[in-house]
Structures are given as structure tokens and as C-alpha cells.
Amino acid sequence: MRFQILRATKLTTFGNLAASGQHTWRERPTPNADATRTPLNVDLRPVASASELVNAVRHRIGEARQRAERPVLCIEYLITASPEAFARHAGGKGLPDKSTYFRDALAHFEQLHGANNIVAANLQLDERSPHLVIYAVPLVETGARLRKRSVIVGTGPNGEKVREVREYEEPATVKLSAAHFLDGRAKLAKLQTDFHLAVGRKHGLERGKPGSQARHSRVKRFYSQMAERTPSYPELSLPQAGLLETKASYGVRVQEAIEKKLAPLIEPLFVRSQALDVARESEARADRRRDEAERRRKVAERRTELALESELSSRQRAESLSLEIARLLAGLSSAEAHQVLDAYRAAKEDRDRDHANSRSLGRSFPPK
């Protein structure tokens, strides 16, 4: 069966974005690409380099008036099909390299994100199977609406916080939100289904089984897995031993000969291993940053909650004091009430003055 293939990855930093662009426009070594076919790759947007991609995304996200603390800057989509769907792998019976399948895919994502938010698109024909790479800035326009929020309004007799739901108006805005498109299994499944109904089915391609437990590779890893050719190992011929040559000397010559033959295969594997180590460390750093951001968010929420509780407690004490004063003055004449209030204010001023003097004295003569 011939299947559609659609992958999406979130690019959260300009470093991620630049690295992806360098791979797309072959600005870094790409072992799985045929350099003689790279000139056949086609740009479907004016952007044609990693630096232009970064500038285009930076310019576009300037339109956002609302964004998360660490937002997803861009979504990278990879569109292709299983190898047997293409004519180059099916004896000429299949999709041509520059199939309208890719044009229809681009039109689909222009409709999903808005044409202005598709900042770059590159059709790559120099790997094992043709594929389209699309870069979309996830801007979302939202209209004004009423939102509901649970807020703390007091403390009950048993010490528990009392909450109530209040409505507030949220104005129309433009948000940078990848979650609007990719957040959760349901949205990811819908992404695949909508693409199949609009594009894949039209070109005779099947959709993968919904809800399948099969695990997908990351986009960068998928590039190499999809396009990696079966390596052709060189024939190893051992050198002839010299008549008077020692075993140690002959062993050194055999080792050098084998290393020379296998070097073209070993070096790319070493480079990939280093790249994987860098990627793992980058993911670990990102996890640590997310954990720290979550900790700070919880601390900020707790401080806000304590401030609200303190404000509410102060207001309740003031109301209680006002009621007590009113009760005490209820049986007095107006002149007597004024005398009592004047005496209370004078006593309070004396008490505050004594308290200030004692604090000043404590600062002047610190304990030894």
C-alpha cells in the first residue's frame, strides 16, 4: 500500500530554526543527500537560506501581541509518501518527483495557517524520496470573548479558601500559539485526517491507522532514516607479508590498510554519533529550563495568592474594627463620641511614636 507521510516538529529557538534551515538548504554536510541532484531542489517561497528563514520568522512573529514565555517560533512540516508511491521507485508507475501532490499540500497548509504565515517551502529532490519542507509561523487571530476564572474571595470558618467563578472580557488579539494546531493527540490525529481528506486521498495515498501505537521518529532523524542508502562495504584485501617481516610489523600494515578502506564509512557514523550527543544534551538543557520555569511560575502564583489573602485579611480586620467602634459609640451623644474618638487617636499616635522610638533605639544600639 502507498501511504501519505506527514510529520510536524516545533522549533522553539532561533538556534533550532537556523540548524533546520542549514539542513534544508544544504549549508551543512548532508551525507544522505546526492550533491549532484541538489540543484534540482525547488524553493516555493522567496526564502532560500537559513539566514533568510530566521529573518522571515523574526519579522512575522513581530505581528503577535500575545505569546508564551518560551513560545514555539515556527512549525516545520515534512510532507512525502512511502517510497513505493513514487515513480522513481515503482518502475515509472507512481508520483513524479515534481508531483502536484506537493503543490496541493502547500495549498492545504496555506489554508490552515494563512498564506502570509508560510514563510518558506522547499521541495527536495536530492534524497532517496522526494519531500516537501514547509515552515509555518503559528499566528492565531482570536476575537473578543468572555472568559471565566476561579478566584479566591475569602477564607471560610474552617480555614479553607473560598473561591467563586468570575467573568472577564478578553479583547481580540493575535497570539503566537503552536498549541492551537498541535496540542494533544486529538489535534495531531485531526491534522493527519484532514490532510488525507484534502490531499492524500486525491493522489491515491492511504492514511495510517488512527490511534496506532507505532512510534514516529523526530523529523531530523526521519530525514536520515528515510533517505539513507544501504552502505556498500568495500572489499578488504589483506597486504602480502614480507619474507623477513615480523608479525608485529605485518599487523600494523594490515590495520592501516583496513582503516584506510573503512574510513569513508566510519567518519559519517562518528559525525552522526557526535550530533546525537549534542541533540541529547540540548534536550536535557531544555528539560531543565522547563522545570525551572515551572518552579518559578508556581512560586509567583503562591506569592500572588498570599498577597490576596493578606489584602482580604486586612480588609476584614478594618471592617471588624469599624463595627466595634460603632457599637461602643452607639449609646453616646455626638460630643461624647467625638471626645472618645479624639482620645483614641491621641493614644494611637503616642503608641505609634513610642514604637518608632524603640525601633530607632534598637538600631542605634545593636546587641553585642
* pLDDT tens digits, 3-31: 899 999 999 999 999 999 999 999 988 88
Give the separation between CA 104 and CA 94, rounded to whole angstroms: 16
Using DSSP's 3-state secondary structure scheme, residue 314 falls into: helix
Opening angle at CA 108, ends 102 and 109, nearest 5: 95
Q: Which of 166, 177, 171 is nearest to 71 (CA)?
A: 177
Residues 6+ apart with CB under 8 A from 22: 28, 50
Q: Which fold has domain 4-141+174-230?
A: BirA Bifunctional Protein; domain 2 (3.30.930)
Q: What pLDDT, in 10s, does the model give residues 123-148?
A: 999 988 899 999 999 999 888 878 78
For residue 231 the three cell numbers come to 552502505
| Res. 229 pLDDT band, cuts 50 70 90 | very low
Separation of alpha carbons 323 and 328, rounded Å: 9
Q: Is 310 exposed, middle or buried (0-12, 13-18, 19+ CB in 10 A)?
A: exposed
Q: Which of 15-19, 213-217, 320-324 has the lowest mean pLDDT?
A: 213-217
Predicted pLDDT at 194? 94
- In sequence order, the β-bridge partners of residue 141 are 174
Q: Which of 100, 118, 98, 78 is nearest to 37 (CA)?
A: 98
Identity of the highest mean pLDDT range in 111-115, 148-152, 222-226, 276-280:
111-115
Give the mean pLDDT of the chain: 82
Tell me, what's the pLDDT at 135? 97
